[in-house]
Chain A
Amino acid sequence: MTQGLEGPRPEERPRPEGRRNAQGIRIDPEVEAEPAVRRTVISALVTHEPGVLSDVSGLFSRRQFNIESLTVGPTEDEERARITLVIEEHEPGIEQAKKQLRKLVPVISVRELEPDAMRRELMLIKVSATRPDRVAAVTEMYDGKTVDATPETATIQVTGSRQKVEAAVEAFSQFGIREISRTGTTALARGDDRTAAREESPVEYEADGTPTTPQTTHSDDD
């Protein structure tokens, strides 16, 4: 037999006891559990130049990060834009997303926002205006604003957290929804805290090497 090599067969070899999970973390096989997925908001300060948005969206689709919304807009500095991403990933996935984002050359800084950060989105919702009084009542209930009204339709603007906007959609659905357009979430950190500063602090590690990251789930505020 000239095919192959000599040596103990696979079943004759010693085998190690340990195992890793799909994220490459060593685990106790007895208590193996899938890591929990959480939703979080990532804010990136980027140079305001053509192509940045496609770099970022391309990165997220190529690496199969689970992305819920992506918004982009100008900032206080005309040479900088802010991209706000809402992603849903397990812990290692969130860390990867932040690091990959930071690697793009036009990205200046990246920060995962604390659970108490201010998060808002804007929705335009167009409904049938067959029951104008009821529409007005629901609009008021959600702090909405009627921005267009015709005999057939009413278009209402609602702003707030994702939960609030979703609840509003639910409430308006009784009138027959014609069209919806939502901006996706934009966000800022509270108080003195910079959302994504020019000089970001490097990832901090515990002495054993695990990165210190907020573990809490974002509770949508309003």
Chain B
Amino acid sequence: MSEPAPSVATPEQERAQERSDDPEPDAEPTAEPVTTGAQSVIRALENVGVEYAFGVQGGAIMPVYDALYDSDIRHVTMAHEQGASHAADAYGIVSGEPGICLATSGPGATNLVTGLADADMDSDPVVALTGQVPTEMVGNDAFQETDTTGVTTPITKANTFSSDPDTVGDDVGEAFALANTGRPGPTLVDLPKDVTLDDTEHEPGEARVPDTYDVQERADPEVVRAAARRIESADRPLFLLGGGVIKGDASAECREFATDHEIPVATTMPAIGAFPEDHELSMEMAGMHGTGYANMAITHCDTLIAVGTRFDDRLTGGIETFAPDAEVIHVDIDPAEISKNIHAEYPLVGDAATVVDQLSAEVEESPRAKKWRAQCQQWKSEYPMAYDTPEDEPVKPQFVVEAVDEATSDRAIVTTGVGQHQMWACQYWTYTEPRTWVSSHGLGTMGYGFPAAIGARLAAEDDQEVICVEGDGSFLMTMQELAVAVRENLDITVVVLNNEYIGMVRQWQDAFFEGRHSASEYGWCPEFDKLAEAFGARGFRIDDYDEVADTVEAALDYDGPSVIDAHVDPQANVYPMVPSGGDNGQFALTEDQL
């Protein structure tokens, strides 16, 4: 047990108080002055309003944890540092403020790597603070030494090795500012133990990005004008919203623009929720498992207004056949995304909300696209996302997703693992609000869902349900975090779409490897409901259609973590599907079309 925090002033402080002729003895108590590097680290976090941190203790990070002991920042001890990184990531997505994760040196830091790579791919704001061996031992292969900045350079937006107790707090403030300025992303500060232990009186200054870092907010007005003329004269305009719309809080601006000018809207997966999916103009998600109508619209549009997307290959399919008739208006805060994968005729570098407003102000008349809108509606009826529910077959996973959606509010938050269940959670849940969809897009990290639900829960409002749609395989990767959810009594409902398969792999094997199920069949699976009970959570099980509604209701009613082990059709497949590198317009609706 470490020394308890002094709640009363030491005799020395009392003497100092007596000597001072403070005119306002009743004034707000100001924070204790910083005395060590570690305290400066925690002060920097407090200064920027951090409320939660997720992590695991260990040798090299102990001084930081010791300083955290006196802080109002609430620390959530996770079962595994990977869990800490995903929880921080989801916290960042839901709250819009960087999520904080802490780990010790060596294995603690390497366990964060998956979560940092995930955050980097999805541009999620995360700050990682890692312990490091004392400076003088660095380079000697000391106990639990890993070159953490070396390992994480390619998967962070920026990282730094702190070498001075006087500036370590400023390093942390800068990492926080960088994580959330311009295009967000993960940052890391490596904290050698001597630096955090050493004395300093230096209070960290204002958290700010370095002078070398600048962000362009407004797009070139001349290009805006040219793009506006293009939109006005478009016959087949389409909005494509990307994750940047959510990150840049531009959903309202995009919504207004699209509805004012009656332009249909497709989204990428990270942008789910940026435009209400129940709106007439919504084509929903495009790409590999996007709707048939979204992919038809992308393939046939003549003007693509793409906002905050990096044109990932899961969206574009083969580049040659992506929106091949379209002139592209590309809005992005990161100039390096412009014309990286898809050439932009109208490059608009800037903040999504600002640039969409610029465009809005410039577009004088709506495009005459009545015929196009009718065509989009026709595609919606030609390619419905319908499925059968024969009584003599196991429960369809799509049915379970729809049932949970129906039983929850519009603002419910969904987190997922990676696989078929993730795609059904995209396709069969109707999202209407930004920051309610929390998933691993670019990296496709199995195991993301449950720790993400913990971070999402702590960032969400009390009246927002947090639902974690999991696969049996994905849940097994990080389900030990149930211990944390139980300890913290977090109200999370896990829905395991249990097909006793690593189903997405099985689907690909059936389609592309002659049905040879190499290492994709379990043949055995733990009973997740009982496992949940063993952790101290509530466990439920679904085997039949008539159990679905009541079980979902009971699990949602329980105020704490619960797990529904939903045994679903192991043969169900995800469609539509554009095979890797394929033509979006040629999506397959059945296996024989692949």
Query: Judging by beta carbons under 8 Å apart, are B150 and A54 in contact?
Result: yes
Q: Which of A1-38 contact B (CB under 8 A)?
A: 1-10, 13-26
User: Chain B, 475-503, contact with A by CB distance < 8 Å: what is the 0/1 string?
Assistant: 00000000000000000000000000000
CB-defined contacts of A107 to chain B, threshold 8 Å: 212
**Most B CB within 10 A of own CB, among A7, A62, A92:** A7
Bound together, the chains give a CA A51 to CA B188 distance in angstroms of 14
Q: Is A58 an interface residue (CB 8 A)?
A: yes
Bound together, the chains give a CA A47 to CA B346 distance in angstroms of 33
User: Chain B, 565-594, contact with A by CB distance < 8 Å: what is the 0/1 string?
Assistant: 000010111011000000001111111010
Bound together, the chains give a CA A47 to CA B413 distance in angstroms of 43
Which of A66-74, A94-102, A140-148 lies at the interface with chain B? Answer: A94-102
Q: Is A132 an interface residue (CB 8 A)?
A: no
Main secondary structure of the interface of B (DSSP, over half): loop
Query: Judging by beta carbons under 8 Å apart, are A96 and B324 in contact?
Result: no
Q: Is B50 an interface residue (CB 8 A)?
A: no
Q: Is A208 an interface residue (CB 8 A)?
A: yes
Query: Judging by beta carbons under 8 Å apart, are A202 and B321 in contact?
Result: no
Q: Is A115 an interface residue (CB 8 A)?
A: no
Q: Which of A176-205 contact B (CB under 8 A)?
A: 202-203, 205
Distance of B569 from chain A, by nearest CB (Å): 8
Q: Which residue of A lies closest to B343 (CB)?
A: A25
Q: Is B300 an interface residue (CB 8 A)?
A: yes
CB-defined contacts of B342 to chain A, threshold 8 Å: 20, 24
Query: Judging by beta carbons under 8 Å apart, are B320 and A19 in contact?
Result: yes
Q: Is A42 an interface residue (CB 8 A)?
A: no
Q: Is B558 an interface residue (CB 8 A)?
A: no
CB-defined contacts of A211 to chain B, threshold 8 Å: 347
Query: Judging by beta carbons under 8 Å apart, are A209 and B223 in contact?
Result: yes
Bound together, the chains give a CA A205 to CA B223 distance in angstroms of 8
Q: Which of B234-282 contact A (CB under 8 A)?
A: none
Distance of B225 from chain A, by nearest CB (Å): 8
Distance of B572 from chain A, by nearest CB (Å): 8
Bound together, the chains give a CA A3 to CA B222 distance in angstroms of 51
Tell me whether A24 and B343 are in contact in the complex, defined as CB-CB below 8 angstroms, given that A5-B383, A15-B585 are known contacts.
yes
CB-defined contacts of A8 to chain B, threshold 8 Å: 382-383
Bound together, the chains give a CA A2 to CA B591 distance in angstroms of 11
CB-defined contacts of A92 to chain B, threshold 8 Å: 339, 343
Query: Judging by beta carbons under 8 Å apart, are A6 and B153 in contact?
Result: no
Distance of A17 from chain B, by nearest CB (Å): 7
Query: Judging by beta carbons under 8 Å apart, are A20 and B322 in contact?
Result: yes
Q: Is A108 an interface residue (CB 8 A)?
A: yes
CB-defined contacts of B150 to chain A, threshold 8 Å: 54
User: Chain A, 101-123, contact with B by CB distance < 8 Å: what is the 0/1 string?
Assistant: 01101111000000000000000
Other than the known A5-B384, A9-B593, A20-B342, what 7 A-B pairs have Cβ atoms closer than 8 Å?
A3-B573, A6-B384, A18-B325, A19-B324, A21-B320, A50-B161, A58-B153
Closest 6 CB pairs of A and B: A4-B590, A18-B324, A99-B336, A24-B342, A7-B383, A25-B343
27 A-B pairs (CB sep. < 8 Å): A1-B590, A2-B569, A2-B571, A4-B575, A5-B385, A5-B575, A5-B590, A7-B382, A10-B587, A10-B593, A15-B585, A16-B299, A16-B300, A17-B325, A19-B320, A20-B322, A20-B342, A50-B161, A54-B150, A58-B153, A92-B339, A105-B212, A205-B222, A207-B222, A208-B226, A208-B345, A209-B223
